[in-house]
A and B are shown apart, each in its own frame.
Chain A
Amino acid sequence: MTVPVRRFDAVIVGGGGAGMRAALQLSESGLKTAVLSKVFPTRSHTVAAQGGISASLGNVQEDRWEWHMYDTVKGSDWLGDQDAIEFMCRKAPEAVIELEHFGMPFDRLENGKIYQRPFGGHTQNNGETPVQRACAAADRTGHAMLHTLYQRNVRANTQFFVEWMALDLIRDEAGDVVGVTALEMETGEVYIFHAKAVLFATGGAGRIYAASTNAFINTGDGLGMCVRAGIPLEDMEFWQFHPTGVAGAGVLITEGVRGEGGILLNANGERFMERYAPNLKDLAPRDFVARSMEQEVLEGRGCGPNKDYVLLKLDHLGPDIIKQRLPGIREIAIKFAGVDPIKEPIPVIPTCHYMMGGIPTNYRGEVVIPQGDNPEARVNGFYAAGECACASVHGANRLGTNSLLDLVVFGKSAGDSMVEFIRNEMPTWKPLPANAAERSLARISRLDNQTNGEDVTEVRTAMQRTVQARAAVFRNSENLALGVKEIQEVAERVKRIQIKDKSKVFNTARVEALELENLIEVAVATLISADARKESRGAHAHADFQQRDDEVWMKHTLYYGDDRRLTYKPVHTKPLSVDYIPPKERTF
């Protein structure tokens, strides 16, 4: 079967903040650049980022990039690579001012400078006092960033392929990346995108969890493609959680509700936080509350038909307080949980928010994998940026407002590296391998021909329940070992998923099946990586190994999908220009 080929200098998969920032760099350099996106670019999940973008502009209070770097290293619980963290924090002011020049409507001070607001974890003088470092466009910073970058890309003649889903990475015999295959949803046809360089900016994969704040499009497509192409995934055990999302929906209930007197109950109606934290009770730190909630569920005291959530009770506060102080919460509860908190408690569960791990890259956005003695050999022609990439700046835990920064700094850096690579090393296209589209065509053909198979929604639900129960915030050896076994059983079922609708045009069922094939790779990587890490660090809190163990575990996990094995590589302890920030206990 002949597959049509389209040829570009650079192909970018993903039209969110990172993908569009990289594309701009390439198009403005005069290179022919394509951006493939499942949805219209301004409807990428970047739109959900409200808080802001951090940069040590010092517009409101004295600030320095070195302090931002310290906060990020500490936030990462010393798993972040300090060269990449220095790079990001040093570049931050320039990156924000550049967005301002592009026309992004930041909130301003009276003197005309960009206003900066405080945000958790950002401090002056290496942890001394909080600092105002977050630049925002009202509560729509991500939205404003997407629109700004989209307009600039249109002007620079970036070619957008909207409603196209990338299927597989194409590597030649030498292992170099020479393109991707992609599905045009409108026709159902598969194409080859032949490129001198490919960038993945496919975002996160939070949909592996039953409880997730991520939009439905966040299915880890780039990560699935990497695993199938023999590229390892880094630090997949690290996921950031919020303690109280509406069970079954994922929409967040602010912690302010517990501040106002809301309490958590288990199936027996017991205020269980009194047992875990006799003094602070429901106001114990966020991660502690989240772990206690999950422990209740795991020990069989969860509520509901599947006993998989706890209850957040507010009715004792009385209708006046709820209406006055928590109006937004009442609306959310009614709309997404189907309960009015004036009368009934809200079902809640710790909810996944952000993926710290991803495709291993360096601060230049180059994908790097072990080869011989070199733990970080460049994969020629392959780049990644944004949530799908692991540079690693977030390490074991991400600071708020560092994610939008990550998108623009590493999107641009990867774009620059690609321009340099194409100009200096890749004057023309490497030939496509003979079987370039074989894997993708086989996947689609299996879906079309599968009989007596498994239902996509059922298998996806089984995957999400397993990951939620075994690898959310409460982790111990027994539970993780069970999870490894269970998720591999689910993975076997994914091999047999079936779709009823075999039509070609805008076949959403087919797209969802292909997405599940990506999600399951991420889910297996998460369980296997988490099971192996016998320490607690950042978001990976292990009940049987409660201390951070720098001697043994200050290293990055690498997961290979072909034989589901792990290797490790060192954390970068050498910043670019400043002194190493040595590990300390993470206290606040």
Chain B
Amino acid sequence: MTDIDPVEIKRIRWRSRRGLLELDIVLERFLANGFDQLTTAELAAYRKCLELGDNDFLDYVNGKAEVDDPELAHIIGILRAV
């Protein structure tokens, strides 16, 4: 992840603050453990997840909804395991 603008990393960290507590908890754990090891492609996918509405995002993370976007499936898998 060394080639990513450090400001962008900080921005992504802030955007991991959500409107739903459940997501806050999962993403906080992920930021502390796993986030720093993301590849550039995984980071791009994570950034895309952050654009999701909170309910959809949580349904993916909880496994309540299937991820139909192949770009997101891998990173959601990582988040499900957090």
Contact = CB atoms under 8 A, between A and B. Distances in A.
Interface of A: 38-40, 42-48, 140, 143, 147, 163, 185-186, 212-217, 249-251, 331, 335-336, 505-508, 511
Contacts of A335: 26, 62
A44 B21 contact: no
Contact of A250 (B10, B14, B17, B21): B21
Interface in B20-79: 20-22, 24-26, 28, 53-55, 62-63
A216 B10 CA distance: 17
B14 A506 contact: yes
B14 A215 contact: no
7 contacts: A39-B17, A43-B54, A48-B19, A212-B21, A216-B21, A249-B25, A336-B22
A249 B28 CA distance: 11
A507 B10 contact: yes
Contacts of A43: 18-19, 53-54
Nearest to A218: B21
Nearest to B54: A47
B18 A39 contact: yes
A47 B7 contact: no
Interface of B: 7, 10-11, 13-15, 17-22, 24-26, 28, 53-55, 62-63
A349 to B, nearest CB: 15
A143 B7 contact: no
Give the 9 A-B residue pairs with the shortest CB-CB distance, closest first.
Answer: A506-B10, A47-B19, A43-B19, A216-B24, A47-B54, A215-B21, A45-B19, A506-B11, A505-B7
Contacts of B11: 186, 506
A217 B15 CA distance: 11
A31 B70 CA distance: 45
Nearest to B13: A508
B21 A213 contact: yes
A45 B23 CA distance: 12
B22 A251 contact: yes
A163 B25 contact: no
Contacts of A147: 53
A140 B19 contact: no
A336 B58 CA distance: 13
B22 A508 contact: no
B10 A217 contact: no
Contacts of B14: 163, 185, 506, 508, 511
Nearest to A49: B19
Q: Which of B13, B19, B53 neighbours the largest number of chain A CB atoms within 10 Å of its CB? A: B19
A511 B14 CA distance: 10
Nearest to A42: B53
Nearest to A246: B25
A140 B22 CA distance: 15
Contact of B25 (A336, A507, A508): A336
B25 A46 contact: no
A251 B55 contact: no
Contacts of B26: 335
A335 B63 CA distance: 11
B17 A217 contact: yes
Contacts of A250: 21, 25
Nearest to B23: A215
Contact of A216 (B7, B17, B55): B17
Contact of A39 (B13, B19, B53): B19
B39 to A, nearest CB: 22
Nearest to B24: A216
A143 B55 contact: yes
A46 B53 CA distance: 12
A185 B19 CA distance: 18
Contacts of A140: 55
A251 B21 contact: yes
A109 to B, nearest CB: 24
Given A42-B53, A508-B14, 8 more contacts: A44-B19, A47-B55, A212-B21, A215-B17, A250-B25, A335-B62, A336-B22, A505-B7
Contacts of A213: 21
Contact of B20 (A48, A212, A331): A48
Contacts of A216: 17-18, 21, 24, 28
Q: Which of A42, A251, A335, A336 neighbours the largest number of chain B CB atoms within 10 Å of its CB? A: A335
